[in-house]
Structure 1
Amino acid sequence: MQREGIFREMKLRRNDEKPSGKGAREQAEAVRRARKTAAKRPDREGYSAMAE
């Protein structure tokens, strides 16, 4: 359930969120996802630190 984001969604729905706060949160989540994807990209493409 944690992977699917259910706990995070339950926490967010407990309190009302301003539209400006929602936009900032969603932008921060997008940046976090992009960084995570970029960090995993070398492994997916077959590069590894041990190959050097």
Structure 2
Amino acid sequence: MAVDAGYYDVPRTASQDDVAAQLDCAPSTVAEHLRKAEAALAGAAIRNDAGL
């Protein structure tokens, strides 16, 4: 949803508040889920780059 909304566009075209409104949840919930997803993606990218 964040990608489709434009949260990761440069420049950003959607805020966490915008994503939260689309998902009908609190912005803090969106922030927590995005942090977890970004951490998982970064970890996977680093492990893949290191050949692990």
Normalising to structure 1: TM-score of the pair? Answer: 0.52
Higher relative contact order (CA 8 A, sep 6+): 2
Moved over 6 A (4+): none
Q: Which runs of 5+ in 2 are unaligned?
A: 1-5
User: Which protein is bigger by CA-based radius of gyration?
Assistant: 1
Higher helix share: 1
CA RMSD in angstroms comes to 3.2
The size of the alignment, in residue pairs, is 41
Normalising to structure 2: TM-score of the pair? Answer: 0.52
User: How many percent of aligned residue pairs carry the same amino acid?
Assistant: 5
Q: Which runs of 5+ in 1 are unaligned?
A: none
